[in-house]
């Protein structure tokens, strides 16, 4: 399992290499969520992200990732996230948040980037709000309730007919 910051940096790195694809914090949240969901299916339940995912007003959110990216507001993210940016006292000496990934995890991230990278943030948010999605099943108006990994895995498995 990995920090949401490290997985987010995989997408930020890809967007920096493809400047025509801008990442806002909302879009980044959704890409990390989709990677987490598809990895749960591909790995038979092993989470990609160690952080809890919660049902917020605009869809699934990793609170730790939100803390690290909220400074960007609605503007595109143009810098890699650094370790500690999810805390009130980041230390610039900690460097960019990267962790070694398994080949299968890279393949999931590549799949998500190739499949959803061109989507706008609002389109990705709409996907997370579809009927019977994990978000719709646990969302309770501003309560930021946890979304269980099993519910996420079952939902993504349904797309493949492997449920």
Name the 3-class secondary structure at 118: coil
Q: What is the pLDDT of residue 76?
A: 95
With a threshold of 0.85, does the pTM exceed it?
Answer: yes
**Euclidean distance between CA atoms 103 and 95, whole angstroms:** 23
Task: Look up tokens 């143009």; give the residue.
Answer: 78
Length of the chain equals: 163
> How many Cα atoms sit within 13 Å of 99 on the Cβ side?
15
112 is written with which tokens? 């998500």
How many structural domains are present in the chain? 1
* pLDDT tens for each residue of the chain, 163 residues long: 999 999 999 999 999 999 899 999 999 999 999 999 999 999 999 999 999 999 999 899 999 999 999 999 999 999 999 998 887 766 656 788 999 999 999 999 999 999 999 999 999 999 999 999 999 999 988 889 999 999 999 999 987 654 4
Give the 3-state secondary structure of residue 145. strand
pLDDT in the model for residue 86: 80
Q: What is the pLDDT of residues 87-115, one digit of tens each?
A: 776 665 678 899 999 999 999 999 999 99
Q: Which of 126, 135, 94, 148 is nearest to 26 (CA)?
A: 126
Question: Which domain does 31 fall in, by range?
Answer: 4-160
| Mean pLDDT estimate for the chain | 92
């Amino acid at each position: 399992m990995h920090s949401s910051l490290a997985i987010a940096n995989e997408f930020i790195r890809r967007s920096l290499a493809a400047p025509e694809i801008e990442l806002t914090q909302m879009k980044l949240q959704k890409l990390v969520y989709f990677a987490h969901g598809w990895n749960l299916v591909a790995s038979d339940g092993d989470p990609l992200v160690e952080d809890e995912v919660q049902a917020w007003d605009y869809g699934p959110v990793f609170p730790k990732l939100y803390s690290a990216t909220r400074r960007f507001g609605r503007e595109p993210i143009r810098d890699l996230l650094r370790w500690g940016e999810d805390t009130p006292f980041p230390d610039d000496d900690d460097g960019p948040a990267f962790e070694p990934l398994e080949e299968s995890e890279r393949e999931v991230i590549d799949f998500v980037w190739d499949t959803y990278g061109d989507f706008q943030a609002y389109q990705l948010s709409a996907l997370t709000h579809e009927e019977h999605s994990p978000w719709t099943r646990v969302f309770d108006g501003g309560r930021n309730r946890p979304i269980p990994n099993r519910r996420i895995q079952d939902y993504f498995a349904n797309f493949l007919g492997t449920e």
